[in-house]
Amino acid sequence: MASRSLLTSSILRHQSRTLVRGRSAFARFYSEQRYENILTSRPDPGVALITLNRPKALNALSTAHFRDILSALNDADADEKVGAIVLTGSEKAFAAGADILEMKDKTYADAYGNNFLSNWEDLKKIRKPIIAAVSGYALGGGCELALSCDIILASPTAKFGQPEINLGVIPGGGGTQRLTRAVGKARAMELMLTGRMFNAQEAERWGVVAKVVEEGEGKVLEEAVGMAKAIASKGRLAVMATKEAVNAAYEMPLTEGLRFERRLFHGLFATNDQKEGMAAFAEKRKPNFTDS
């Protein structure tokens, strides 16, 4: 327990220093890449941490902000040392929505002609698991960003919602599809047609989030980093195959999904990690995966 508290303190301390001193590089936590709207760090060699950093806008997702997030996700996905990714915001807001000031004067010709928000589909291309650590507001685009992640952990302070109906539009980053798959048609209709927020406990009860963590500043981030470390300790090929198979369950009929799962299962028998994992089990020792 003490080591977990030290991890939390270390993460928060480094984030705080970065916010105060700008994007200075110190220790081994921070990557060389610099972004305008996010912070990137390594709380563990196998874990990439991406922190949304537009505090004055409650982390509202502008085009430039989302571009930074995608770039950092792609960098982490391509990094052989990274086994899992954590995406988080501040204690007050994960992301309080899309940037309305950026959108309010858009025309149909502009939105349709330039395929506005189409790059949100690029989130599906990230092969490594993404854990969203959510505190405070996750509304509109912020809720959609969290729903695009593979696992959501929530602080008791978390507030989710798709309030686009109050702006005369509908969700445009996947909310009508992902939230409906998570909570079912009737509840999704109620939430999106009224625009009401729902809390962390409701989100856990409905299966939107995997877990509501204990109260306390930084606790949800601590839990997310701990989970990411556990995932990063597994064989990367099996982790990516698991993510691919689970995501396929939402898009395939059961018969096709079972066939797809079986083919991925068969394919892993061609890896060194399968040989090592099963040998380690038989020999009652810890496996040494080589991601090959």
Q: What residue segments make up the domains of the chain, in order of their start?
A: 38-233, 236-283
* pLDDT, tens digit, 9 for 90 and up, residues 216-254: 889 999 999 999 999 999 999 999 999 999 999 999 999
What's the mean per-residue pLDDT of the chain? 90
51 strand-pairing partners? 39, 88
Non-local (6+) Cβ contacts of 266 within 8 A are: none
- Give mean pLDDT, residues 100-116: 92
pLDDT score recorded for residue 12:
52
pLDDT score recorded for residue 3:
47
pLDDT score recorded for residue 59:
95
Do 38-233 and 236-283 come out as alike in CATH topology? Answer: no
Active site residues: 98, 141, 144, 164
**CA distances, 35 to each of 30, 228, 269 (Å):** 12, 23, 40
Comparison of pLDDT for 101 and 128, the residue scoring more? 128
**CA distances, 272 to each of 248, 267, 283, 284 (Å):** 25, 11, 16, 18
pLDDT > 90 fraction of the chain, expressed in percent and rounded: 84
**pLDDT interval class at 126 (50, 70, 90):** very high
Q: Tokens representing 37?
A: 């709207």
Q: Is the pLDDT of residue 15 over 70?
A: no
pLDDT score recorded for residue 99:
87
138 strand-pairing partners? 95, 160
Task: Answer whether CATH 3.90.226.10 is correct for domain 38-233.
Answer: yes
CA pair distance 7, 45, nearest whole angstrom: 13
Q: Is the pLDDT of residue 76 over 90?
A: yes
Task: Answer whether CATH 1.10.12.10 is correct for domain 236-283.
Answer: yes
